[in-house]
Amino acid sequence: MGIEPFSVHETNVRSNVLEVVVRSLLATLDAQQAKTFRANLEQVFVDVERLQPEETVQINAVVRQVALEIASAAPES
C-alpha cells in the first residue's frame, strides 16, 4: 500500500502553497508597508464582521486568527 501522490488541486496543498507565497511576499515589505498591510487586513475583518451572517461567525473568527498569524511574518521594524 503506497502513498497517493499529491495534486496541486487539493485544497490542503493549495493552502500550504499560498501560505508560503504570502509569507515570502510579506518578507519583502519594509516596516511601513507591513504596518499598512496589517492595518488594512484588520479593517477587512472589521468590515466582514459587521456584514457577516450569523452562520459564518465561527469560521470567520478562525480565518481571522490564521490571517493575522500569517501577517505577523511581515517585518516589524
The pTM score is 0.73
Contact status, residue 51 vs residue 3, Cβ threshold 8 Å: no
Residue type at 42 in one-letter notation: E
User: Does the structure show a pLDDT above 90 at 6?
Assistant: no
Please compute the mean of the pLDDT values over residues 33-49 and round it to a whole number.
95
Query: Residue 52 above 80 pLDDT?
Result: yes
Confidence of residue 27 (pLDDT cuts 50, 70, 90): very high
The C-alpha atoms of residue 75 and residue 26 are separated, in whole angstroms, by: 8
Q: Residue 34's CB: how many other CB atoms inside 10 A?
A: 20
